[in-house]
Amino acid sequence: MASNRVGYIGLVCLLITTVIAASQRYHDCVQKKNVAQAQEECVRYLGIPCARLAVYNDYIYPNDTETQCMVRCMGINLGWWNDIQGVQEPAIRHYFHPDPDDAQHDRRTYHCLKSQRLDNPTPHADACERAYESFRCYYEQYGNIVITPQFVPLTPLQLSDVLLQCADILQFPGVESGACDTAAKPSERDIGCLARCFLLRSGLYTDQHGPNLDRLYVQCNNYANETRFRETTSVCYQQLKSECQDECVLAGRFLRECFDEGGLAVQITVLSYENRCRYRIYHCIIE
């Protein structure tokens, strides 16, 4: 009896430790990983012999089918690879650190990708090989691999889930009952509070510091000029902050007004009677 009790207490302690570790690892829906973590997971997922992991952890990547598919998995895991769109440049750059004295790393990487026609999507080509060769261009031409965990952009499915969770948390009009015909029309502040919750839970924004431009740039993905993105987004936010005293209204206007070049308009079903149960919320995500 005593041994059973000790075993039960040990199991409870293990579960508590696991929960605490998980809560410390993630803030809301934010996920951060490094290359080594993603490689270890992909070796398990793909059933690759463990001996290979030691090779990968030395950042050695033999040019064989097994390694190519591991690299593709790692790219999906870290958010820098998509079989349809190819390499996601803002995301993959965060996993490499160029030499400060090397002014040509961007040019060399671009020519490496272009010489193998990796700069344009080619859905029908071998995805593992394309992912591997794209990674190799950055590995050999851009810089050294960053060993610290980096922000992993949320997928469209994850972003939609965050939005729906926020609608549920905030008891957004019509969400609980599912009856859009009888739901009250959401106010500008209702929409703003939904936008604010979405930004907070996805780790792209805080009330104290405003937008996290590092993460937003990676999440948006389709801004060609990072410097311009940072400048215009920051100026837009500061202008809105001087006009808006309400945090919800500020967040809502930030999503609607501060993403001109690469921001995407995504129609989310959130139940509004006047517009056939739909209300358009603007934010930047990867399609």
Q: Is residue 55 part of a domain?
A: yes
Quickly tell me which residue has 């190519």 as its tokens: 68
CATH number at residue 260: 1.10.238
Q: Is residue 287 part of a domain?
A: no
Q: Is residue 224 part of a domain?
A: yes
Q: Is residue 8 part of a domain?
A: no
Q: Is residue 132 part of a domain?
A: yes
Whether residue 77 sits in one domain with residue 52 = yes
Looking at 103, 132, 151, the residue that finishes a domain is 151
What is the reported pTM? Answer: 0.77
Greatest Cα pair distance, the chain, in angstroms, is 70
Joined together, the tokens standing for residue 194 give 């939904």
Secondary structure of residue 213 in the 3-state scheme: helix
Quickly tell me which residue has 């690892």 as its tokens: 25
Cβ atoms of 144 and 97 within 8 Å: the answer is yes
The domain tally of the chain equals 2
Whether residue 199 sits in one domain with residue 123 = no
Buried b (16+ CB within 10 A) or exposed e, 238-261: eebeeebeeebbbbbbbbbebbee
Looking at 133, 151, 169, the residue that finishes a domain is 151
Instruction: From residue 258, give the alpha-carbon distance in Å to each of 162, 211, 231, 253.
Output: 21, 11, 11, 8
pLDDT in tens, the chain (287 residues): 444 443 433 433 333 333 333 333 334 689 999 999 999 999 999 999 999 999 999 999 999 999 999 999 999 999 999 999 899 999 999 999 999 999 999 999 999 999 888 877 776 679 999 999 999 999 999 999 999 999 999 998 888 888 888 988 998 875 554 444 555 677 888 889 999 999 999 999 999 999 999 999 999 887 778 899 899 999 999 999 999 989 999 999 998 888 865 453 333 333 332 333 333 333 333 23
Q: Is residue 15 part of a domain?
A: no
Whether residue 133 sits in one domain with residue 178 = no
Looking at 103, 130, 151, the residue that finishes a domain is 151
User: CA-to-CA distance for 203 and 170, rounded, in angstroms?
Assistant: 18
Q: Which domain holds residue 212?
A: 156-282
Whether residue 202 sits in one domain with residue 132 = no
Joined together, the tokens standing for residue 235 give 């100026």
Whether residue 127 sits in one domain with residue 160 = no
Q: Is residue 142 part of a domain?
A: yes
Whether residue 95 sits in one domain with residue 205 = no
Whether residue 96 sits in one domain with residue 68 = yes
Whether residue 165 sits in one domain with residue 119 = no
Instruction: From residue 62, give the alpha-carbon distance in Å to each of 56, 78, 122.
Output: 9, 20, 23
Whether residue 173 sits in one domain with residue 106 = no
Whether residue 179 sits in one domain with residue 88 = no
Whether residue 163 sits in one domain with residue 215 = yes
Whether residue 169 sits in one domain with residue 143 = no
Q: Is residue 196 part of a domain?
A: yes
